[in-house]
């Protein structure tokens, strides 16, 4: 959320040490933000532009514009985008909140649909 640096594989000990040094200097320069405040600013009223979905060691980045629909499946959601289905551990209610501003509509207790061209 408040990234200082990114390490891309493969990286060596020198690059790791440089990144760690940068993070430590940033931490010492500012007052810490309480974890509760970070969670509240991220969750309440935050519209998202993309979904990150972990699939073993791979992370899929799905722009919300490419999502066709989302279906609840127990503690997971199945996201249909670009002819593929992705499984994400998140509630349908959480996604509904984050995607409402992007033109998504809950049409059933199990489904959220992308309504292209639809406005509230």
> What stretches in the chain show pLDDT beneath 70?
1-2, 30-46, 116-120
Give the pLDDT confidence of 97-120 residue by residue, as tens digits.
888 888 888 889 999 988 765 554
Q: pLDDT, tens digit, for every residue of 36-46?
A: 554 454 454 56
37: tokens are: 């405040």
User: If you count them, how many residues does the chain have?
Assistant: 120
> What would the two tokens of residue 70 be?
């989302």
- Which strands form 76-81's sheet, in the order they lie side by side? 84-88, 76-81, 67-73, 111-114, 104-108
What pTM was estimated for this model as a whole?
0.58
What end-to-end distance do the CA atoms of the chain give, in Å?
29
Q: Which of 50, 69, 72 is nearest to 61 (CA)?
A: 50
Nearest 5°: CA angle at 75, between 72 and 76? Answer: 55
Could you tell me the domains of the chain? 48-114 (2.40.50.40)
């Amino acid at each position: 959320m408040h990234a200082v640096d990114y390490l891309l594989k493969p990286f060596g000990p020198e690059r790791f040490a440089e990144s760690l040094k940068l993070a430590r200097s940033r931490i010492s320069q500012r007052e810490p933000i309480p974890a509760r405040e970070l969670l509240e600013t991220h969750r309440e009223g935050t519209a998202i532009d993309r979904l990150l979905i972990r699939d073993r060691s791979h992370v899929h980045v799905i722009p919300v514009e490419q999502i066709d629909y989302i279906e609840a499946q127990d503690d997971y959601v199945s996201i249909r985008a670009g002819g593929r289905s992705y499984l994400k551990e998140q509630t349908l209610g959480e996604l509904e909140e984050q995607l409402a501003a992007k033109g998504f509509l809950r049409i059933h207790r199990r489904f959220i649909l992308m309504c292209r061209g639809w406005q509230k």
